[in-house]
Each structure stands twice: as C-alpha cells, then as structure tokens.
C-alpha cells in the first residue's frame, strides 16, 4: 500500500500544480536532526509534507519531481555516521516511496541545478505562516533548501497551501491507517481504564499506554497528558507525576502515531466515587460533545459550526451555574473545539470554509473550573462523510 499511497499523493499534487499554477517542478526537503542534549539528537519526526509525499521518515532527504521523473536525493553521510547509524538502503527508500530513482547527494545536486535551469519556477514548501506564534526554534531544513534553490537562480513558488488543501481530505488508504492509529489508541484506553483501580500515580496510568503502543509498533503522537483531580485544569499538563485522587476524576489525553498518522483522544474517568458536582460537569460535557458532533456534515460552514458550538457550550455552562457574565464562557472553555488531524496532530483544514468529505477532525469540548479543582474534557476523532460524519473513536465509551 505504501508505494501506491505516496505515489498517488505526488501524482495528484503534480496535476494540480500544472493545472492551477503552470508549475512543472517541485522540490520538498525532509527535516534534519536537531540537538536534544550535548551529543544526542531529539527523537526524529519527519516534516509532514515530506512524509505525505514520500513515506520516508529519515532526516536529510530531498524530493525532486518534474514532468519527467520523481527522484529522492540522499543526504551525505560521513564514514563515522555510517558506523553509528548505518548506511542508507536505497532500494528500501525506493520501495517505500515509489519514486523512479534514488540518487546520492552529489548527483542529486547536479539534477537540481539542471532542473532549476530548465524550468526556472520551483514549487517549495514555504515558511510556516503561524511560526511567529511559536516560542521554539524551527527546523532550519526548509529555509536552507529554499536558500540553495534561490542561489541556483530558481524562482520559488510556495506550494504549502496547495499541499495543505490536498492533505485536508484523506483518501481510503490514509483512512485505513488512521483507523489503525485510532484503534491502537482505543485499545490502550480500554487497558488503562480496566487497570485504573490498581494505579496510584499518574505515571502508572501513562505507562499502560506506552506498553500497548510499543507492542503495536506505534508511539505517542504528542506528550501524553494524565491529569488527576485539579491538574486537569492545566490544559497542557504533562508532568504526570502526581498521586491520583482516591475519589475523583482523571483526565487522559493521549494519541498514538502509527505509520505516520495520528490519533488524538481524551477521556475523563472516575476513580472511586466522584462528587455529585464532578459527575454533573462530566454529564454536561458529554451531552454537549454529542450535540456538537451532530453539527458536522459536508457543506456546513466553519462559522456555522462555531456558532452552533458556542450555543451548545454556553447552555452546558449555564446548566452548571457557570455562565454569569459573557467572559465566563472563555474562562471555563478556553480552547478551540476542533482541529484537523492526520500526519500532524494539529493539521490544517486546508483553507476550506466548510466541511468536506474525507476531512478528519477532533471534537473536544471541555469545562475547567479551577476554583473547584474540576476539569473535564472528552475528545473523539470524526470523519466527515458524504452523508454526515462517522465517529472513528466511537468504540471507546465516553462514560465516566
């Protein structure tokens, strides 16, 4: 499946670039390794557009596609790196990606120079439009590649929005992989839920997920959140080192990455006997959750979806006596209701204004009351279908 999947992504993109932008050449680079500590790099996760077009999760590669062929250009590795990390297996790279050929770095640079000279216009993945909101350093690989192509006198065209739009609608093969990623996550949640009574600390519970994921060749798609009691009010709580309450709630937000695609699921479970207030908050979030999922079908605009969500969530807060001023809405429900899901955990919905069949997005209402030490969130992964929607994580009960 891999070969045809990534080949089909490239072919579709190529046709769109030719048709809409009269573009015959595009060049996309993978991420490079980043330092984590003195002599160790951080665990490597591939740049999502490059993964989408190649299925290759190794650093330093470059994809060149023009109207005659598709080529993967290998990174240069030193003799020392070859001893520690192994040599590149060109035939395996060729098989996974389905490209016409794989070439060493020097030959690849010659090909790039010749292609830029021939076509002049080059499609590249331009800078992330949201980069100024981030407080971390960005991987320098894409800028380095763009700079090199500019030096070769290429006229760069940013194809990021076009790839993002294409990625927003998943094809059948992608959905098969996503169902597996979600299935592994559901299995891990069930295992953890069954073991809940024997767990004393948040990390004990987190460990169940790691075990299930690794035994299915999956890994955590993002920093897992296991938040007992009032820790659930810290939205990105990831310390996971506190004692679990004897009687109360635990919020778990965890997803597997499997074959490059992510799941993202949240449940809030009861430990012992939660208070009636905790049960009421959970019931309100659960009721809102399914009402919001019901809004999703093709043709509904994101604006109408947001307006519908606001109405439902305000009603939920009102039912709990929490909506006394307009500011209370964002105080108790401070995050977005949804985001796209795919190779990226937070994936672009492609600049569309309304739901399209094949989109996968999360629905994740939550109510957080710091002054009461209560936080509840429920999150499912929803596929937009021709008829409406399908809850891909429906096999996992949302009950306390």
Distance CA 232, CA 222 (A): 17
Min dist. Cβ of residue 161 to Mn ion (A): 23
Residues 249-268 that bind Mn ion (CB under 5 A): 264
Nearer to Mn ion, 12 or 336 (CB): 336
Residues 74-103 that bind Mn ion (CB under 5 A): none
Min dist. Cβ of residue 335 to Mn ion (A): 9
Min dist. Cβ of residue 152 to Mn ion (A): 40
Asked if 362 touches Mn ion (CB under 5 A), the answer is: yes
Q: Which of 329, 398, 348, 16 is nearest to 167 (CA)?
A: 348
Contacts of 269 by beta carbon, 8 Å cutoff, 6+ apart: 193, 196, 249, 250, 252, 400
- CB atoms under 10 Å from CB of 33, counted, come to 17
Nearer to Mn ion, 122 or 218 (CB): 218
Nearer to Mn ion, 27 or 262 (CB): 262
Q: Let me know: does 268 contact 249? Beta carbons within 8 Å.
A: yes
Nearer to Mn ion, 60 or 366 (CB): 366
Distance CA 263, CA 381 (A): 7
Task: Give the range of 240-248, 309-317, 358-366, 367-375 binding Mn ion by CB under 5 A.
Answer: 358-366
- CB atoms under 10 Å from CB of 76, counted, come to 12
HSE-CB for 42 with a 13 A CA cutoff: 9
Nearer to Mn ion, 348 or 362 (CB): 362
Nearer to Mn ion, 65 or 378 (CB): 378
Min dist. Cβ of residue 163 to Mn ion (A): 22
Bridge-based pairing of strands 219-220 and 40-41 is: unpaired
Min dist. Cβ of residue 377 to Mn ion (A): 9
Q: Which of 263, 292, 275 is nearest to 395 (CA)?
A: 263
Distance CA 215, CA 261 (A): 17
Task: Give the range of 54-62, 232-240, 359-367, 392-400 binding Mn ion by CB under 5 A.
Answer: 359-367
Q: How many residues bind Mn ion (CB under 5 A)?
A: 2
Residues 17-56 that bind Mn ion (CB under 5 A): none
Min dist. Cβ of residue 89 to Mn ion (A): 35
The number of helix segments (H) and strand segments (E) in the chain equals 12, 19
Nearer to Mn ion, 231 or 362 (CB): 362
The beta strands (E) that lie in 161-224 are given as 219-220
Could you tell me the CA-to-CA distances from 80 to 33, 40, 42, 76, 106 in Å, in that order? 16, 15, 19, 12, 19
Q: Let me know: does 203 contact 238? Beta carbons within 8 Å.
A: no
Min dist. Cβ of residue 186 to Mn ion (A): 15
Task: Give the range of 11-19, 137-145, 356-364, 382-390 binding Mn ion by CB under 5 A.
Answer: 356-364
Nearer to Mn ion, 30 or 266 (CB): 266
Task: Give the range of 70-78, 157-165, 330-338, 357-365 binding Mn ion by CB under 5 A.
Answer: 357-365
Distance CA 316, CA 367 (A): 9
Min dist. Cβ of residue 379 to Mn ion (A): 5
Interacting residue ranges for Mn ion, rule: CB under 5 A:
264, 362
């Amino acid at each position: 499946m891999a070969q045809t999947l990534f080949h089909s992504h490239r072919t579709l993109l190529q046709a769109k670039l030719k048709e809409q932008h009269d573009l015959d050449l595009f060049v996309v680079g993978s991420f490079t390794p980043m330092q984590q500590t003195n002599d160790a790099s951080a665990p490597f996760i591939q740049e999502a557009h490059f993964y989408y077009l190649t299925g290759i999760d190794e650093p330093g590669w470059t994809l060149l596609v023009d109207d005659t062929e598709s080529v993967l250009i290998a990174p240069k590795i030193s003799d020392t790196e070859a001893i520690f990390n192994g040599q590149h297996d060109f035939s395996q790279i060729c098989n996974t990606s389905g490209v016409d050929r794989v070439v060493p770095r020097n030959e690849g640079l010659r090909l790039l120079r010749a292609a830029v000279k021939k076509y002049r216009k080059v499609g590249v993945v331009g800078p992330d439009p949201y980069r100024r909101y981030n407080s971390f350093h960005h991987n320098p690989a894409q800028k380095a590649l763009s700079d090199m192509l500019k030096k070769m006198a290429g006229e760069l065209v940013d194809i990021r929005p076009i790839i993002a739009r294409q990625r927003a609608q998943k094809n059948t093969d992608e959905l098969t992989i996503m169902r597996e990623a979600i299935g592994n996550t559901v299995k891990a949640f069930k295992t953890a839920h069954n073991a809940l009574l024997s767990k004393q600390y948040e990390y004990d519970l987190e460990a169940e997920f790691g075990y299930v994921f690794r035994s299915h060749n999956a890994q955590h798609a993002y920093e897992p959140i296991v938040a007992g009691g009032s820790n659930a009010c810290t939205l990105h709580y990831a310390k996971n080192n506190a004692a679990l309450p004897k009687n109360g709630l635990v919020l778990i937000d965890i997803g597997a990455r499997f074959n490059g695609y992510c799941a993202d699921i949240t449940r809030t479970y009861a430990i012992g006997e939660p208070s009636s207030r905790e049960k009421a908050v959970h019931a309100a979030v659960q009721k809102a959750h399914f009402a919001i999922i019901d809004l999703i079908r093709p043709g509904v605009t994101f604006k109408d979806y947001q307006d519908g969500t606001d109405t439902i969530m305000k009603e939920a807060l009102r039912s709990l006596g929490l909506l006394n001023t307009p500011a209370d809405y964002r105080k108790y429900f401070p995050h977005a209701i949804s985001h796209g899901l795919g190779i990226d955990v937070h994936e672009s919905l492609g600049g569309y204004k309304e739901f399209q069949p094949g989109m996968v997005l999360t629905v994740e209402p939550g109510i957080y009351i710091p002054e009461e030490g209560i936080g509840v969130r429920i999150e499912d992964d929803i596929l937009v279908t021709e008829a409406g929607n399908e809850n891909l994580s429906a096999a996992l009960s949302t009950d306390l």
